[in-house]
Amino acid sequence: SQQGEEDPQALSIQEGENATMNCSYKTSINNLQWYRQNSGRGLVHLILIRSNEREKHSGRLRVTLDTSKKSSSLLITASRAADTASYFCATVGYQAGTALIFGKGTTLSVSS
Amino acid sequence: EAGVAQSPRYKIIEKRQSVAFWCNPISGHATLYWYQQILGQGPKLLIQFQNNGVVDDSQLPKDRFSAERLKGVDSTLKIQPAKLEDSAVYLCASSLLGGRAINEQFFGPGTRLTVL
């Protein structure tokens, strides 16, 4: 079963605007990762945040994690048309394996 | 460095036929994963290998799906016989470390399977 639930399911914005996507999960996690998927480049890792971290930045990306609420958010600032893609949060638990458990994703459309 | 390679990229078969997918992970990556992604959903783990041993295959439908990773490098995933609900993209991923190590996974382009 899928662990994360992204919100919203779909988001349409104009270039230059910020995009915020949220993710909620159900069980305790070791870390949470965000991935982007588009037809051109497949599934690509964006950023990883550990359970003892609250915020992380990478370029135009900002990720927050609230383990008390079991939620995370991904902020993309100054969006570009090239950011058009599906975005997935994926969690890793404390079990021995390191497989990702993905949510259903948010589809982001950025128009110029 | 070269990424994760998968073949074929597309496959169309009829139900009850067999199909096999191949994956070559990034050189030196110990852990290899197969995911199934149904249209409109996120990827779901089918099986995870560490070197040539199985770490997790709890979500693999073992009555029809099988996978192996010979010599701890390449891997094949087989479906026999295929059902309509197996139509999906099959993604292979690899990561450098395994066990409880925290690291990112690198995904291949996937194989899109259509079962008619």
What CATH number has the domain bearing residue B20? 2.60.40.10
Condensed to tens digits (0 to 9), the pLDDT of residues B46-101 reads: 999 988 899 889 999 999 999 999 888 999 999 999 999 999 999 999 998 765 66
Count of domains forming chain B: 1
| Domain contains A112 | no
| Domain contains A73 | yes
How are beta strands A10-14 and A106-111 bridged, if at all? parallel
Count of domains forming chain A: 1
Distances (CA, A) of A43 to A25, A75, B10: 20, 18, 17
CA distance B14 to B114: 8
Condensed to tens digits (0 to 9), the pLDDT of residues A28-74 reads: 888 999 999 987 678 999 999 999 999 999 999 999 999 999 999 99
Pick from B91, B103, B111, B112 the residue to mutate for testing the A interface (most A CBs within 10 Å): B103
Chain A residues in contact with B10 by the CB 8 A cut-off are none
In this prediction, residue A13 carries a pLDDT of: 97
- A90: closest CA among A10, A39, A30, A8? A30
Domain that holds residue B59: 5-115
- A102: closest CA among A110, B65, B68, A93? A93
Q: Are B110 and A99 inside 8 Å of each other by CB?
A: no
User: B11 - beta bridge partners?
Assistant: B113
Domain that holds residue A31: 5-95+103-107
Residue B26, pLDDT above cutoff 80: yes
| Domain contains A16 | yes
Chain A residues in contact with B41 by the CB 8 A cut-off are 2, 104-105
Q: Are B105 and A48 inside 8 Å of each other by CB?
A: no
User: B106 - beta bridge partners?
Assistant: B94
CA distance A23 to B30: 29
Largest pairwise CA distance in chain A:
45
Q: Are B40 and A99 inside 8 Å of each other by CB?
A: no
CB A60 within 8 A of CB A98: no
What CATH number has the domain bearing residue A54? 2.60.40.10
| Domain contains A32 | yes
